[in-house]
Amino acid sequence: MSTPIPSTQQHGFHPRSNARATLTAFVAIVSRDLLVMRREVIIFLLQTLIQPLFFLFVFGKVLSTIGAANVSFSIVLLPGVVALTVFLTALQGPAVDLARDLNVIREIDDRLLAPLPTVLVAIEKVLLAALRALIGGAFIFPLAYWILGSGFQVRTDMLGVLIGLMVLVALVGASVGLVLGTAAPIQLLPLIFALVLTPLIFTGCTFYPWASLGAIKWFQVVTLFNPLTYAAEGMRYAMVPPLHGQALQTLAIGWVLLALCTSFIVCLWGGLKLFHRRVVS
Amino acid sequence: MLEPQEATQAIEVEHLVKRYPRAQRTAVDDLSFSVRRGETFGLLGPNGAGKTTTIGGIDVVANPIGAKQRIAVVPQRNNLDRTLRISEILTYHAAYHGVPRAERTARAATLLEELGLSARRKEKLGWLSGGLEQRVMLARALMHEPEVLFLDEPTNNLDPQTRLFLWERIQALHKQGVTIVLTTHDMEEADRLCERIAIMDQGHILALDTPDGLKRLIPGGTMLELRLRVPEAVGALRAPEDGATDTQDERFRAMLGRLPGVTKVEQLALEGQPETLAFRLYGSSDAGTLLANATQTVIQEQGELLDLRFTQPSLEDVFIYLTGRNLRS
Q: pLDDT tens for residues B256-314?
A: 888 887 877 878 777 777 778 888 887 776 778 888 888 888 888 888 888 888 877 77
Question: Average pLDDT over chain B, rounded to whole?
Answer: 81
Is B156 in the same domain as B88?
Answer: yes
- Whether pLDDT at A211 is above 80: yes
Q: Which residues contact B261 (CB under 8 A, 6 or more apart)?
A: B283, B284, B285, B289, B290, B293
Given an 8 Å threshold on Cβ–Cβ distance, is B80 in contact with A107? yes
Is B290 in the same domain as B269?
Answer: yes
Indicate which of A14, A29, A32 best probes the interface with B, i.e. most B CBs within 10 Å of its own CB: A32
CB A171 within 8 Å of CB A91: no
B310 touches chain A (CB under 8 A): no
Which residue on chain B is closest to A1 by alpha carbon? Answer: B114
Q: Is B201 helix (H, G, I), strand (E, B) or coil?
A: strand
Confidence of residue A6 (pLDDT cuts 50, 70, 90): very low
Which of the listed residues B211, B244, B262 is the one where a domain comes to its end? B211
User: Of the given ranges (A10-14, A46-50, B25-29), which has the lowest mean pLDDT?
Assistant: A10-14
Measured in angstroms, the CA of B208 and the nearest CA of chain A are apart by 27
Residue B297 domain flag: yes
Indicate which of A113, A279, A280 best probes the interface with B, i.e. most B CBs within 10 Å of its own CB: A113
Nearest by CB to B82, which of A16, A105, A279?
A105
Indicate which of B55, B96, B162, B168 best probes the interface with A, i.e. most A CBs within 10 Å of its own CB: B96
Residue A4 is classified by DSSP as P
Is B270 in the same domain as B173?
Answer: no
* Total number of domains in chain A: 1
Given an 8 Å threshold on Cβ–Cβ distance, is A16 in contact with B92? no
Residue A38 domain flag: yes
User: Of the given ranges (A150-154, A203-207, B174-178, B283-287), which has the lowest mean pLDDT?
Assistant: B283-287
A43 touches chain B (CB under 8 A): no
Given an 8 Å threshold on Cβ–Cβ distance, is A21 in contact with B69? yes
Amino acid at A119: V
Q: Look at residue B234 in the predicted model and tell me its pLDDT.
A: 59
Is B227 in the same domain as B166?
Answer: no
Question: Average pLDDT over chain A, rounded to whole?
Answer: 89
Residue B324 domain flag: no
Global pTM value: 0.81
d(CA B212, CA B214): 5
d(CA B132, CA B134): 5
Is B244 in the same domain as B149?
Answer: no
Residue B294 domain flag: yes
Confidence of residue B219 (pLDDT cuts 50, 70, 90): low
User: Of the given ranges (A205-219, B15-29, B301-315), which has the lowest mean pLDDT?
Assistant: B15-29
Residue A254 domain flag: yes
Higher pLDDT: B289 or B144? It is B144
Residue B115 domain flag: yes
Given an 8 Å threshold on Cβ–Cβ distance, is A4 in contact with B140? no
Which residues does chain A have within 8 Å of residue B96's beta carbon, measured at their own beta carbons? Answer: 24-25, 28-29, 110-111, 114-116
> What Cα–Cα distance (Å) separates residue B126 from each residue in A38, A89, A108, B80, B129?
21, 27, 17, 10, 8
A211 is in which domain, residue-wise?
19-279
Beta bridge partners of B9: B36
Given an 8 Å threshold on Cβ–Cβ distance, is A5 in contact with B64? no
Measured in angstroms, the CA of A173 and the nearest CA of chain B are apart by 24
d(CA B315, CA B190): 8
Residue A7 domain flag: no
Amino acid at B299: I
Helix, strand, coil shares of chain B as percentages rounded to 5? 40, 25, 35
A7 touches chain B (CB under 8 A): yes
Nearest by CB to B79, which of A3, A32, A107?
A107
Residue B226 domain flag: yes
Residue B191 domain flag: yes
Which residue on chain B is closest to A27 by alpha carbon? Answer: B96
| Nearest of A32, A91, A86, A81 to residue A59 by alpha carbon | A81
Residue A219 domain flag: yes
Burial class (CB in 10 A: 0-12, 13-18, 19+), B284: middle
Is B185 in the same domain as B265?
Answer: no
Measured in angstroms, the CA of B103 and the nearest CA of chain A are apart by 11
Tell me the percentage of chain A whose pLDDT exceeds 90.
59
| DSSP track, A185-238 | -GGGHHHHHHHHHHHHHHTTTSSS-GGGGGGSHHHHHHHTT-HHHHHHHHHHHH
Given an 8 Å threshold on Cβ–Cβ distance, is B96 in contact with A36? no
| DSSP track, B262-327 | EEEEEEEP-SS-TTEEEEEEEESS-HHHHHHHHHHHHHHTTPEEEEEEEEPPPHHHHHHHHHSS-T
Q: Is A149 helix (H, G, I), strand (E, B) or coil?
A: helix
Return the CATH number at B42: 3.40.50.300
Is B166 in the same domain as B147?
Answer: yes
* Total number of domains in chain B: 2
CB A125 within 8 Å of CB B72: no
Q: Look at residue B57 in the predicted model and tell me its pLDDT.
A: 61
B88 is in which domain, residue-wise?
9-211
CA torsion angle for B317, B323, B324, B325 (degrees, to 10)? -80
Is B241 in the same domain as B197?
Answer: no
Is B169 in the same domain as B261?
Answer: no
Given an 8 Å threshold on Cβ–Cβ distance, is A114 in contact with B96? yes
Return the CATH number at B234: 3.30.70.100
Q: Look at residue A281 in the predicted model and tell me its pLDDT.
A: 63
Is B178 in the same domain as B232?
Answer: no
Is B25 in the same domain as B77?
Answer: yes
Indicate which of B69, B99, B114, B135 best probes the interface with A, i.e. most A CBs within 10 Å of its own CB: B69
Which of the listed residues B178, B211, B244 is the one where a domain comes to its end? B211
Is B70 in the same domain as B172?
Answer: yes
